[in-house]
Amino acid sequence: MSSDANCQEKELVRSQMALRTQEFMDGQTMLRNQGFTEDQTAVCRVCPHHCNIPVGAFGRCRARKNAGGKVICTNYGKLTSMALDPIEKKPLAYFLPGSMILSVGSYGCNLSCPFCQNYEISMAGESDFRILQEVSPQKLCSLAMREASRGNVGVAYTYNEALTGYEYVRDSARLVHEAGMVNVLVTNGMAELPVLEELLPFIDAMNIDLKGFRPDVYRKLGGALGTVKAFITRASQNCHVELTSLIVPGLNDDPADMERQAEWIAQIDPRMPLHLTRYFPRYRMHEKPTELSLLTRLKKVAQKSLERVLLGNV
């Protein structure tokens, strides 16, 4: 081979290598933008845990999994609970009072509250159930319509943390709306705003937990106060929102914190209802139930800023 031909061949190899390097870099950027990493772990961005999940493994909530490099919710349409409840049980005191609502839940949660009232399903994964009822969004919508004759106004996504399977909420809620019924979301508010934005067009009312007003309270429960505050603020711009604080002695019972919490809520809307509910021993927490006198004292503190403060579980 002449030296000219040799040079041309080397140049060709160099440019092909440069092209392959660029393609590789573009591919990596694309994968990273989709939440994938080079070794096929996938990052879930539904909540601020941003779990980095290896292929075949589950995220912290036990409801989302890396299936071949893509994060999916495994609890889609797999129901552990279904009941026709008074809407006041969600709790919602100022949204269609006196109505019934078809309430459904699955499994999984992204917090780890030691006092969880529904721990049998919220702390569970699919392998903990022998039988799960599979209900497609279409089927759920027909069930909701059938229950209209018993006073049902729509569907409530509740019991476990519904946002760990937000895709099911979104797909069902769209159909329920098309059928002229309402959607209620009961959530801990520990989700990123893009997830909320996907749901807001279809959700009519929410009850959102506000489990305390200090970052360290949320850290103890495996959550992030800032995320929940941003969630509440955005949700309240689009739908009816009521808040629930389960008062646990020694965790979130400081009147000064309640005062700051109520002031913060009031700057969003002084008429936003706040439910102060009574803790009872459950799951990993065995301390005595919250004293009624403590709830009443905190209610008075909250009422300095808020017009609608209610006691629950009393």
Tokens of 270: 């002084």
Of 42-50, 118-126, 261-269, 289-297, which part binds ligand SF4 (CB under 6 A)? 42-50
Among 46, 113, 232, 241, binds ligand SF4 (CB under 6 A): 46
CB of 209 to ligand SF4, least distance (A): 16
* Whole-angstrom Cα Rg for the chain: 24
CB of 43 vs ligand SF4, minimal distance in Å: 8
Minimum distance, C-beta of residue 42 to ligand SF4, in the bound complex (Å): 10
Q: Does 59 engage in binding with ligand SF4 (CB under 6 A)?
A: yes
CB 194 → ligand SF4: shortest distance, Å? 13
- Indicate whether 64 belongs to the interface with ligand SF4 (CB under 6 A): yes
Q: Which residue has the tokens 């979301």?
A: 185
Nearer to ligand SF4, 72 or 93 (CB): 72
Question: Binder to ligand SF4 among 51, 156, 302, 310 (CB under 6 A)?
Answer: 51
Q: Where are the beta strands (DSSP E) in 74-139?
A: 78-79, 81-86, 100-105, 133-134
The pairs formed by 83-86 with CB atoms below 8 angstroms and a separation of 24 or more are 84/147, 84/150, 84/152, 85/156
Q: How far is the CB of 206 from ligand SF4 (least distance, A)?
A: 18
Q: What is the DSSP-derived secondary structure letter of residue 113? A: -
Name the minimum Å distance from CB 164 to ligand SF4.
Answer: 5
Q: Nearest CA to 239 among 286, 198, 205, 275?
A: 205
74 binding ligand SF4? (CB under 6 A): no
Dist. CA 86–CA 63, nearest whole Å: 28
- Binding segment for ligand SF4 (CB under 6 A), chosen from 47-55, 84-92, 131-139, 276-284, is 47-55
Using CB positions, name the residue nearest to ligand SF4.
Answer: 59
List the alpha helices (DSSP H) in 71-162: 119-122, 137-146
Query: Cα dihedral angle (47, 49, 50, 51), rounded to 10 degrees?
Result: -120
By CB under 6 A, is residue 111 in contact with ligand SF4?
no
* CA–CA dist 122, 144 (Å, integer): 23
Assess 44 for contact with ligand SF4 (CB under 6 A). yes
Count CB-CB contacts under 10 A for residue 267. Answer: 9
Is residue 169 a contact point for ligand SF4 (CB under 6 A)? no
Q: Does 60 bind ligand SF4 (CB under 6 A)?
A: yes
d(CA 289, CA 298): 15
- The answer to whether the beta carbons of residues 188 and 70 sit under 8 Å apart is no
The answer to whether residue 110 forms part of the interface with ligand SF4 (CB under 6 A) is: yes
Instruction: Output 107 or 279, the one with its CB closest to ligand SF4.
Output: 107
| CB distance 87 to 101 below 8 Å | yes
Q: Which of 14, 20, 50, 219 binds ligand SF4 (CB under 6 A)?
A: 50
Min CB(57)–ligand SF4 separation in Å = 10
Q: Is 309 in the site for ligand SF4 (CB under 6 A)?
A: no
Chain contacts with ligand SF4 (rule: CB under 6 A): 44, 46-47, 49-51, 59-61, 64, 110, 164
